[in-house]
């Protein structure tokens, strides 16, 4: 019988100051190739949630590649959306920083992504954590 396990990747750190949020995204995206280690049809369902200062990872128009020669967190978030990962952003924390949906990466349409970022109340993120088999707090 196929087993699905949900893993919640919680990001509350600033982008670029440390490697943490990048590692959260690259580990979450690695869920797309985890099957090579699992039994047939077993799978990992990832959900990525940005809370606190972590919501600043989601700002649009990042220029890390231009300025520092490294891929931006924006690129990683778009890759996550392209791969249909569930990406959640805490609504209250966005508001705390004076940000709106227009300020952040809401989709990856230009690279063919179909799912959108979900801006949700913190309670919904707590529910996602409650329903996860494992919470990975970055």
71: Cβ contacts below 8 Å, ≥ 6 apart = 64, 65
Smallest distance from the beta carbon of 19 to another protein, in angstroms? 5
Smallest distance from the beta carbon of 117 to another protein, in angstroms? 22
Q: Which of 15, 44, 48, 87 forms a contact with another protein (CB under 8 A)?
A: 44
Distance CA 92, CA 97 (A): 9
Q: Which two tokens stand for residue 83?
A: 């791969």
Smallest distance from the beta carbon of 92 to another protein, in angstroms? 22
Q: Is 68 in the site for another protein (CB under 8 A)?
A: no
Smallest distance from the beta carbon of 125 to another protein, in angstroms? 17
For another protein, the closer of residues 37 and 61 by Cβ is 37
Q: What are phi and psi of 73, to 5 degrees?
A: -65, -30
Q: Is 71 in the site for another protein (CB under 8 A)?
A: no
Q: Is 120 in the site for another protein (CB under 8 A)?
A: no
Distance CA 137, CA 4 (A): 20
Q: Which of 23, 115, 120, 129 forms a contact with another protein (CB under 8 A)?
A: 23
Q: Which two tokens stand for residue 66?
A: 């231009």
Distance CA 108, CA 80 (A): 9
């Amino acid at each position: 019988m196929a087993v699905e396990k949900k893993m919640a990747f919680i990001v509350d750190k600033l982008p670029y100051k440390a490697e943490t949020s990048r590692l959260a995204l690259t580990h979450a995206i690695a869920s797309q190739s985890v099957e090579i280690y699992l039994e047939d049809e077993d799978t990992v369902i990832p959900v990525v949630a940005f809370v606190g200062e972590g919501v600043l990872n989601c700002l649009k128009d990042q220029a890390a590649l231009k300025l520092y020669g490294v891929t931006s967190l924006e690129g990683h978030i778009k890759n996550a959306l392209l791969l249909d990962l569930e990406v959640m952003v805490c609504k209250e924390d966005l508001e705390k920083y004076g940000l709106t949906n227009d300020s952040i990466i809401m989709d990856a349409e230009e690279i063919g992504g179909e799912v959108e970022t979900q801006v949700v109340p913190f309670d919904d993120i707590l529910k996602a954590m409650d329903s996860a088999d494992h919470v990975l707090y970055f």
